[in-house]
Amino acid sequence: MQAKPQSSEWLEAAREAMEIEAEAIRAAGRRLDDNLERAVDMILAHRGKVVVTGLGKSGHVARKIVATMCSTGTPAVFLHAAEASHGDLGIYTPGDPTLMVSKSGNTAELMNLIPFLRDLPSQRIGILGNPQSPLAAAMDVVLDASVEREADPGNLAPTASATVALVLGHALTVALMRARNFSVDDFGRYHPGGHLGRSLRLTVSDVLHGREEVAWAWPEDSLKKVVIAMSHYPLGAACVVDSAGRLAGLITDGDLRRALRAHDDIRGLTAADVMTANPVTVSPHARLLDALRLMEDRPSQISVLPVTDPADGQCLGLLRVHDIYRADLE
């Protein structure tokens, strides 16, 4: 009986698979040429939609490419290659370009579409694993999705090849976004729901805790007074301001714990002694997505941000990371 592989072998196989796929993507990137530019020009030249088709695993990749295109300003629809000749070709209007995804480049169902596409007419872009295949010969533009080997031990399952095909679809989509000057605001209009949509649509001012909800302190206030204020307004932080209301520092729950560890007697400590001076702040006009990035895209993540007026530095309140995610539910 063959010995059962050890769990360490599974981990090594997984890492090797990721390395194989990563190198396949790098190789595909090195092969990119003016064919990508030609594909972009073809799609931009037609005011209608892109029809994307494939079969099997390539069909799943094609569906994902459609979803990404639609969400980034390029109208696209998926055509099931096996259903196309049974009435689904009615999805086309003259001039719609076709994007075909195939690993082998000789999928019969795709080859059967070529005469119809020529008559329509429909310009043809192929993301093909075999650029020397019969299907490649029928394309107007070919994006080379060939791979040296698949990522599975037997070199059988469409793993690396599917990844490369998808990445080429994404590369084409991103190039189209750049060509269309597709902006963050445009993206927000196509994503009105869900966390991403709301974080693009809403601003900090929509969800911040205003002055009346926040613990405030002067730099000379005792630490005891700060703790009492933070207990009354439990947002995880207190804003320390100067006489003009400008933010001087921030005291978080973490700052309090560090002060207790560092001092046996905290009775003489003031807000200025324990606050973080010049903390990271956010404008009330910033998108929630930008605020979230300020909090999370850093070596040490933070969970609360002071909100300041960019014109005069006045502290307007606090924004917690919890408030950003809570906005998704409202």
193: pLDDT confidence band, cut at 50, 70 and 90? low
Q: Is residue 11 part of a domain?
A: yes
Q: Identify whether residues 95 and 231 lie together within a single domain.
A: no
> What range does the domain containing 49 cover?
7-182
- The reply to whether 152 and 258 lie within a common domain is no
In terms of domains, do 86 and 232 share one? no
> Are the CB atoms for 159 and 22 separated by under 8 Å?
no
Q: What does the pLDDT look like over 121-165, one tens digit per residue?
A: 999 999 999 999 999 999 999 999 999 999 998 989 999 999 999
**What pTM, to 2 d.p., does this model score?**
0.74
Q: What is the CATH number of the domain that holds 249?
A: 3.10.580.10
Residue whose entry in the numeric block shows the structure tokens 């494939």: 54
Q: Is 135 within the bounds of a domain?
A: yes
Q: Is the pLDDT of residue 8 over 80?
A: no
Residue-level pLDDT at 182: 85
| Local structure of 222: helix, strand or coil | strand
Question: Does some domain include residue 322?
Answer: yes
Tally of domains in the chain: 2
Q: Do 153 and 253 belong together in one domain?
A: no
In a domain, 1, yes or no: no
b/e code 269-291 from CB counts within 10 Å (16+ = b): bbbbbbbbeebebbbbebbbbbb
Q: Same domain for 32 and 170?
A: yes
15 and 128: one domain?
A: yes
- CATH at 141: 3.40.50.10490
Task: For the chain, give the mean pLDDT.
Answer: 90
Q: What digits encode the pLDDT tens for the residues 287-321?
A: 888 888 888 888 888 889 999 998 888 999 999 98
Share of the chain above pLDDT 70, in %: 92
14 and 118, same domain (yes or no):
yes
pLDDT of 111 higher than 50: yes
* 3-class state of residue 264 by DSSP: coil
Q: Do residue 252 and residue 318 come from a single domain?
A: yes
Confidence of residue 39 (pLDDT cuts 50, 70, 90): very high
Checking if the pLDDT of 66 tops 80, the result is yes
Residue 68 lies inside a defined structural domain of this protein: yes
Q: Is residue 193 part of a domain?
A: no
Report the amino acid identity of residue 310. Answer: P
Same-domain check for residues 45 and 166: yes
Q: 70-84, 131-145, 176-190, 310-324: lowest mean pLDDT where?
A: 176-190
Domain boundary among 148, 182, 216: 182
CA distance 121 to 182: 28
Residue predicted with more confidence, 328 or 323: 323
Is residue 103 located within the same domain as residue 213? no
